[in-house]
Amino acid sequence: MATEVIMPKAGMAMEEGTVIKWFKKEGDVIEGGEPLLEILTDKVNMEVEAPTSGTLIKILADEGQVVPVITPIAYIGQMGEIVPNHEERVEKVEENRGLSSQKNVYTHVEDITQPVPGKIRATPAARRICRKEGIELSKIVGSGPKNRIQKMDVESYKAAMTTSKKASPLAERLAKEKGIPIEEISGSGYSGKVMKRDVIRASDQPGDHLENKNIMPLTPMRKVIGERISQSFFSAPTFTLNAEVDMGNIKALREELKDHLWKQTGCKLTYTDFIVMAVSRGLKEHPFINVSLVDQGILVHPNVNIALAVDVDGGLLVPVLRDVDRMSLKEIVIATKDIAERAKSMKLTPQELNGSTFTISNLGMYGISHFNPIINQPNSAILGVSTILDRMVVIKGEPQVRPMMNLSLTIDHRVIDGAPGARFLRDTKQLLENPMLLFI
């Protein structure tokens, strides 16, 4: 019997994945555990291994296709072996996914509309409710002895009919991709439910819904970013503290160390490296900034794990540097370059995107002078880093032109008050203005 290869669910938030590349073609022999294809999850690329040895007899998802999790994307078996009907299998997976997310929902087969032959076993109470509500007993599956329909089965059926969607999840997704309003599609499923076949039929017909060709469908990454940012923005009351930092001494130190570190590591020393180092030392001195709000109270993290916001094609990733407070400048330089490069090439593992305790978002390279970053939950604070600009400042009563940089610390006020946040920002500023303190 052929073995299904399914779209894996790599993380609780993942609902669908995109097939990036098949390493094998139909007819190829493959060993169990051998890389079979590459997929894009909600935020990272990952390889999917063959679950068994055999011949790749059928590929169901083309490169670039978006597929719901736990949906078959290929079959491995013996050459010439018959595989199940793909369309029916996908529809059934989608229906089960949609129904399984509800509690006490009555499950039924989508296209059964004919009465079940033979005598229907049901309790008097179940029959009474069906007569009153105009429900056909033949459409209900009983949970009692010998499939006898009970009152609870009728109530579950009614609840399912009340809460069921007008369209299957797969049909909704396909309609969104094609830009067709779901309410304009006539459904051929149970109780007029719109199925995948209905969307395909509607897409072949000319209409107003095809006029706009400029709509870009949301990618899995964009959906996750939207959900998480919305959750953070609407759940946490925040405020932002700002401070100007004189980066003159950092600039001088960077000039002194950059060639030396390049020879040792092959990596470019950047201002971000110094900022990461200063923030990690500041968090160690102010542990109540390095916290998360949990059900039991405020979790003070024992480790300093800093996430760095990285701009990637089509979205944003926040890979995590772990135990940064224990790293030397050289180690930070190597780690930041490695994780940023792998983020841009989408080669991070899901584990490298989790476990942060604080986040840094640097938009200085784009000339941004000031912004209010949104907290990357479950962190309770995020530091926004702006560009370095020459400004006229007064030092010891004398006007001087200095390279100044703005830091913006956004804080979750449920967890952190203004004074502790201000002290952390003050001390981080002091470390950047007196960088030799970083090495003491």
For residues 78 and 131, membership in a common domain is answered with no
Q: Could you give the C-alpha distances from 179 to 89, 193, 202, 386, in angstroms and in order?
A: 25, 19, 11, 39
Q: Specify if 93 maps to a domain.
A: no
38 vs 147, more confident? 38
Q: Specify if 104 maps to a domain.
A: no
Q: Specify if 189 maps to a domain.
A: no
Q: Which of 42, 246, 417, 427 is catalytic?
A: 417
* Radius of gyration, CA atoms only, the chain: 29
For residues 262 and 392, membership in a common domain is answered with yes
Q: Specify if 121 maps to a domain.
A: yes
Q: Which of 111, 204, 413, 427 is catalytic?
A: 413
For residues 274 and 359, membership in a common domain is answered with yes
Assign 114 a pLDDT band (cuts: 50, 70, 90): very low
Which of these ranges, 93-97, 239-243, 284-288, 292-296, has the smallest mean pLDDT? 93-97
Q: Specify if 192 maps to a domain.
A: no
> What confidence tens digit (pLDDT) does each residue in 191-233 have?
567 877 788 877 766 554 445 556 777 777 787 788 889 989 9
Q: Specify if 343 maps to a domain.
A: yes
Which of these ranges, 185-194, 196-205, 355-364, 379-388, has the smallest mean pLDDT? 185-194
Q: Specify if 110 maps to a domain.
A: no
Q: What is the CATH number of the domain that holds 39?
A: 2.40.50.100
- Alpha helix (H) residue ranges in 295-437: 329-344, 418-433
Phi and psi at residue 274, in whole multiples of 5°? -65, -40
Q: What is the CATH number of the domain that holds 238?
A: 3.30.559.10
Q: What is the pLDDT of residue 103?
A: 37
Percentage helix, strand, coil, to 5, in the chain? 40, 25, 35
Q: How many residues appear in the chain?
A: 440
For residues 357 and 251, membership in a common domain is answered with yes
Q: How many domains does the chain have?
A: 3
For residues 315 and 372, membership in a common domain is answered with yes
For residues 137 and 232, membership in a common domain is answered with no
Two structure tokens written together for 208: 């107003």
In eight-state DSSP terms, residue 292 is E
Average pLDDT over the chain, rounded to an integer: 84
For residues 256 and 335, membership in a common domain is answered with yes
Whether residue 417 lies in the annotated active site: yes
Residue ending a domain, among 84, 100, 131, is 84
What is the extent of the structural domain holding 140?
115-163
For residues 320 and 404, membership in a common domain is answered with yes
Assign 107 a pLDDT band (cuts: 50, 70, 90): very low
The SS3 of residue 409 is strand
Q: What is the pLDDT of residue 12?
A: 65
**Whether the model pTM is above 0.85:** no
Q: What is the CATH number of the domain that holds 125?
A: 4.10.320.10
Q: Specify if 138 maps to a domain.
A: yes
For residues 264 and 385, membership in a common domain is answered with yes
The mean pLDDT value for 375-403 works out to 95
**Is residue 74 scored above 70 in pLDDT?**
yes
**Is residue 68 scored above 70 in pLDDT?**
yes
For residues 296 and 389, membership in a common domain is answered with yes
